[in-house]
Each structure stands twice: as structure tokens, then as C-alpha cells.
Amino acid sequence: MTEKILLVDDEKDFLSIMSERMQARGMDVSTAASAKEAIQMAGAESFDAIILDLQMPEMDGLEALKVLKAQKPELQVILLTGHATIEKGVEAMKLGAMDLMEKPADLKTLADKIKKAKAKKVILVEKQTEEKMKHIIGGKGW
Amino acid sequence: MSAYQESIGECGLHCFGSISASVSHELKNALAIINENAGLLEDLSFMAEKGLPLEPARLKSLAANIAKQIQRADGIIRNMNRFAHSADEAVKCIDLGDTLALTVALSSRLAAMKSITLDFKPPPQPMCVTTRLFYLENLIWLCLKEIFERAGVEKEICLSLRPQPQGAAVIFSPVDAPVTDAGAIDLLGYLKAYQTADSQRRELLITLPVDLTVCPS
């Protein structure tokens, strides 16, 4: 099944070429050139994974990650960065990022991580549905 | 070493480190685009091997994308190299227009991260001063950093140069108040320079002596 991806980067040339290559591999890719635009899109649609640049104008990747996870905890976010420091990596993981990759990224590795992200999201959504069901059943006096 | 000298040294290192990090980030972005263009060329070759036609226009456009990013990376490296060499001589005679243009280029990513447009109006004639080039670049960078932090709704900062009776002034506008960063204040003293804020014109002037080696402290 096709993975639905949101690719977020302020480098428009990067967005266009990367999305073309991902689409050629059968992924359904949407793009956003800012964190704010990404938050709006993630609120309106469901994505299997979000590939997020760490350094962007106005709102950086870590701030965006916080908002995205607060909005939809099941979201799987992979951060892309030009310079990955250990501190940033640890901070990103603590905030709930699924992974962090350094630019230039290898598309095969990224595609593998996207597949894992999708599987992880499915499990989380199933768990959420199960808990909802338990809550509904528990709420009734059956 | 005195606390004052230590502060100047720390400022220099901090500025050099921050600018190097910003440059490496920009280079990585250019490399990432080159990498994806090369990857797409590879994808197209595989498709051609399977019998899909290769469009020459597509190949030309990919080659143009790669050339554009190489030019971009070359400009970034050139600026970094000039900046690194600015520490070669402790004191030298410099063209302020050139120095400001370089510092503005090196600060452009810092400005972009704050969504600020940085504009420099070069003077019609060269304006030369004898100063500590590396520390002057540090001072301008620290001023810009503080001005960006407090820019608020101002989304365009303009830099220019103006001759002064005893030297030349670097002008930042619109700016309403002097800079308060402790490192910048120490650097002003080290460069025998002073700052004045003109609230009516909304300008901050950093006035430098014509020759730091003959200027009284």
C-alpha cells in the first residue's frame, strides 16, 4: 500500500526534486515550505510519516515537532538536518521524533524508515481505537 | 591575560564558530540538492535501460539544477575563505564596503532564520580605514544578531556607510537603541570605536577611526 508522506523544507529546490524521486517509488507525497504550513496540513489530513527539516525560518523543526505531536500523538516524524549534533538528536527523540537523518540523506535508507514509520503508526492507531472501544464499552452498564 | 582580553578572545571564537556552523549548514543544503539531482539522473538511467525514453530537456534541467547549486556552494565557500583569512593580519587597511558586503553575506542565513531581509547599500567611493578586520567583522555580526533579536515587526534591516570627520560610520537602520551585548561593547573599545543611536532617523551609527594605530584611546 502507498505511504502517504508530508515533506517539509524551506529549500524549494530540495522539495521539488525529493518529492519527484519519492513519487517515482510509489509514495504519495505532499510538500510544505514552512513549519506553519506543515502544521496546518497535518491537522487537516492524515500522513503515515512527516519528513521535517530541523532548521527553518520562523519556526524550527523541534518547535514544529512539539506542536505536531501535541496535535496528533500517533504522528511519525523523521527529522532531516544539515548538521546533527548529539544534543539536538537527543532532544528530538525526547520530543517524540521517530528518527533523525543527516543531509544529504540516502533515499533507500529514508524509504526503509518511512515503511517502519507507517507500521508503527498503524499499531498506535489500532491501540488508540482499542482504548476508545474499551472506554465506550466500560461507559455502558452492560 | 586580563578579563577584557579574555572577553575579546571569547567573542572572536564564538563568532567564528557560529559563522562556521551556519556555513556548513548552508553547504549541506546545497549538497543535499545536488545529491537528489544525481539520484534522479540515476533513476532516469534505470528507466532508460528498461526502455523508457530519455527526454533531453529533462536532462538539461537536471544539469542546470546541479550547476546552480555548485555555484551557490562555491559562493558560500569563497565567503568563508575570505572570512578565515581576515585573521591573517592583526591590523590592516581595509575597504569598509567590501568588509560590510562580506559580513552581510555571512549573516544572511541568520537573517533568513528570523525572516528578515538584510540589505547593504555600498558607498559610491571606496571608504578605507585601518583597523582590526577580524574583530570589526565580529562587532558587525554581534550588532546584527542583537538587532535581529529585537526586530519585532521590522522585517528589513539596511546597512550603509557614511564618512565622518575623524573616520567612517557603519549605519544600521531602522534601529532605535544602542546595542547592549557585553561582547559588542568590549569590541567597540578594542576597535577605538563608539556607537550613537539617532532616534529621529532610527539609525544606529558605529563610528570607526580612520587609523586605529594613531587614534588616541
Cβ-based contacts of B26 with chain A (< 8 Å):
82
Closest C-alpha among B28, B46, B45, B36 to residue B66? B36
* Closest B-chain CA to A60: B113
- Per the listing, cell 517515482 goes with A24
**Residue A1's pLDDT band (cuts 50, 70, 90):** low
When the pLDDT of each residue in chain B is averaged and rounded to a whole number, the result is 93
Check residue B1 and give its pLDDT: 67
Asked if B18 and A2 count as a contact pair (C-beta separation under 8 A), the reply is: no
Percent of chain B scored above 90 by pLDDT? 83
Q: What is the mean pLDDT of residues B39-65?
A: 94
Cβ-based contacts of A105 with chain B (< 8 Å):
32, 35
Cβ-based contacts of A104 with chain B (< 8 Å):
28, 31-32, 34-36
In order of their start, the domains of chain A are 4-139 (3.40.50.2300)
The reply to whether residue B28 touches residue A105, judged by beta carbons under 8 angstroms, is no
- Which residues pair with residue A78 across a beta bridge? A51, A99
More confident residue, B19 or A133: B19
Question: Over chain B, what HEC string results?
Answer: CCHHHHHHHHHHHHHHHHHHHHHHHHHHHHHHHHHHHHHHHHHHHHHHHCCCCCCHHHHHHHHHHHHHHHHHHHHHHHHHHHHHHCCCCCCEEEEHHHHHHHHHHHHHHHHHHCCCEEEECCCCCCCEEEECHHHHHHHHHHHHHHHHHCCCCCCEEEEEEEEECCEEEEEEECCCCCCCCHHHHHHHHHCCCEEEEECCCCEEEEEEECECCCCCC
| pLDDT over threshold 80, residue B95 | yes
CA of B63 vs chain A CAs: smallest distance (Å): 13
Label residue B152 left, alpha or beta by phi (over 0 means left) and psi (-120 to 50 means alpha).
Answer: left
Q: Is A20 on the interface with B (CB under 8 A)?
A: yes
Cβ-based contacts of B40 with chain A (< 8 Å):
17, 20-21
pLDDT tens column, B124-169: 999 999 999 999 999 999 999 999 998 876 689 999 999 998 899 9
More confident residue, B151 or B65: B65
Cβ within 8 Å of B, A 98-127: 102-105, 107
* Closest A-chain CA to B41: A21
**Looking at this predicted complex, what is its ipTM?**
0.84
CB pairs under 8 A between A and B: 60
Cβ-based contacts of A107 with chain B (< 8 Å):
36, 39
CA of A88 vs chain B CAs: smallest distance (Å): 14
The reply to whether residue B28 touches residue A103, judged by beta carbons under 8 angstroms, is yes
pLDDT tens column, B185-202: 999 999 999 999 999 999
Cβ-based contacts of B27 with chain A (< 8 Å):
82
Identify the weakest region by mean pLDDT among A5-14, A80-89, B3-12, B141-150.
A80-89
d(CA B57, CA B193): 56
Q: Is A57 on the interface with B (CB under 8 A)?
A: yes
* Closest B-chain CA to A54: B25
CA angle B164, B19, B168 (to 5 degrees): 5
| pLDDT over threshold 80, residue A139 | no
Check residue B151 and give its pLDDT: 86
**Residue A124's pLDDT band (cuts 50, 70, 90):** confident
**Residue A138's pLDDT band (cuts 50, 70, 90):** confident
* Closest A-chain CA to B29: A82
The reply to whether residue B33 touches residue A14, judged by beta carbons under 8 angstroms, is yes
| pLDDT over threshold 90, residue B184 | yes
Cβ-based contacts of B50 with chain A (< 8 Å):
none
Q: Produce one character per residue of A27-43: b if its CB has 16 or more CB atoms within 10 Å, e if not.
A: bebbbbbbbeebbebbe
**Residue A141's pLDDT band (cuts 50, 70, 90):** low
The set of cell numbers assigned to B101 is 558586503
With 0.80 as the threshold, say if the pTM is over it. yes
CA of B36 vs chain A CAs: smallest distance (Å): 6
Check residue B217 and give its pLDDT: 64
Instruction: Give CA separation, B87 vs A61, B82, B145, B214, in Å.
Output: 34, 9, 21, 21
At the fourth CATH level, the homologous superfamily of domain B92-209 is: Histidine kinase-like ATPase, C-terminal domain (3.30.565.10)
d(CA B57, CA B81): 36
* Closest B-chain CA to A57: B113
Asked if A114 and A78 count as a contact pair (C-beta separation under 8 A), the reply is: yes
